[in-house]
């Protein structure tokens, strides 16, 4: 099962403005592909040239309620792959929690760079760090589940030992180890309370914005509503 989503729009960098983010549910392996736009055709081509060409066709593809994943082209694309397309509930990011976690770490790493307009150049090393990062919930890094060994990072002084194991023995051990691994669902984020300005705790009226995805255009963007029940003060 693979979770996919779109990050952006971002500052222009080498003609790219969006990122196609993919994450495998079992291994947590992340993939991020720079793309120029968020059209369904662009997403399908990028997914085919990266994820499909490296790992094959997934059994299930999880997307949100975006217009790209709901398009006729993307639906036919998943049928061609033989993959089942699953769509998360609207306005419920927790349904796509795995890729949402990936988004958060990816954005934090890109924002930390000195020149944010060159994010396409920083992306490969950011992905290297995320793939080598120890996942507490599964007890290893995504790279260890995919390759069977940790990645050798530039900061390591002592090179990793190379055991003299025949390739067929290594593959047999790797298959047995993967078959014995239990599936562990992604961890839920800690439920931190949302910040509410003090004035909102006592106000009698609030401005409510209309859904930007409304099917019919409207000149009104907001309206005043009476505050009745409160979930917390």
pLDDT score of 223: 62
pLDDT digits (tens, 9 = 90+) for 24-40: 888 889 999 999 998 88
Domain residue ranges of the chain, discontinuous segments joined by +: 2-152
Q: Choose between 141 and 164: higher pLDDT.
A: 141
Average pLDDT on 141-160 reads 77
pLDDT digits (tens, 9 = 90+) for 172-186: 776 777 676 666 666
Nearest CA to 20 out of 11, 75, 3, 95 is that of: 3
Q: How many CB atoms lie within 10 A of CB 26?
A: 15
User: pTM for this structure?
Assistant: 0.65
pLDDT digits (tens, 9 = 90+) for 94-119: 666 777 778 788 888 888 877 878 89
- The residues, ordered by sequence, that sit 6+ positions from 215 with a Cβ below 8 Å of its Cβ are none
The fold for domain 2-152 equals Nucleotidyltransferase; domain 5 (3.30.420)
Element spanning 226, H or E: strand 222-226
* Residue 22 · residue 43 · CB < 8 Å: no
pLDDT score of 50: 92
Q: Token pair for residue 42?
A: 């662009």
Preceding amide of 8 cis, omega within 30 = no
Average pLDDT on 121-136 reads 88
Average pLDDT on 153-173 reads 69
pLDDT score of 102: 83
Nearest CA to 27 out of 190, 177, 169, 156 is that of: 177
């Amino acid at each position: 099962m693979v979770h996919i989503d779109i990050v952006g729009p971002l500052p222009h960098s080498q003609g790219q403005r969006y990122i196609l983010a993919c994450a495998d549910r079992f291994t947590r392996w992340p993939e991020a592909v720079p793309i120029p736009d968020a059209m369904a055709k662009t997403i399908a081509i990028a997914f085919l040239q990266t994820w499909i060409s490296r790992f094959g066709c997934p059994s299930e593809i999880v997307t949100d309620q975006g217009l790209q994943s709901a398009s006729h082209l993307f639906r036919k694309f998943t049928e061609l792959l033989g993959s089942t397309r699953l769509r998360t509930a609207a306005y419920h990011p927790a349904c796509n929690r795995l890729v949402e976690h990936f988004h958060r770490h990816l954005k934090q790493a890109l924002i930390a760079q000195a020149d944010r307009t060159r994010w396409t150049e920083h992306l490969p090393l950011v992905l290297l760090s995320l793939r080598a990062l120890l996942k507490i919930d599964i007890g290893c890094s995504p790279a260890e589940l995919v390759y069977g060994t940790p990645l050798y990072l530039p900061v390591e002084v002592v090179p990793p030992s190379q055991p003299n194991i025949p390739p067929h023995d290594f593959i047999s051990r790797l298959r047995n180890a993967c078959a014995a691994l239990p599936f562990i669902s992604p961890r839920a984020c800690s439920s931190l309370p949302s910040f509410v300005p003090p004035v909102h705790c006592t106000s009698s009226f609030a401005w409510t914005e209309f859904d930007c995805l409304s099917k019919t255009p409207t000149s009104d963007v907001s309206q005043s509503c009476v505050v009745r029940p409160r979930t917390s003060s």
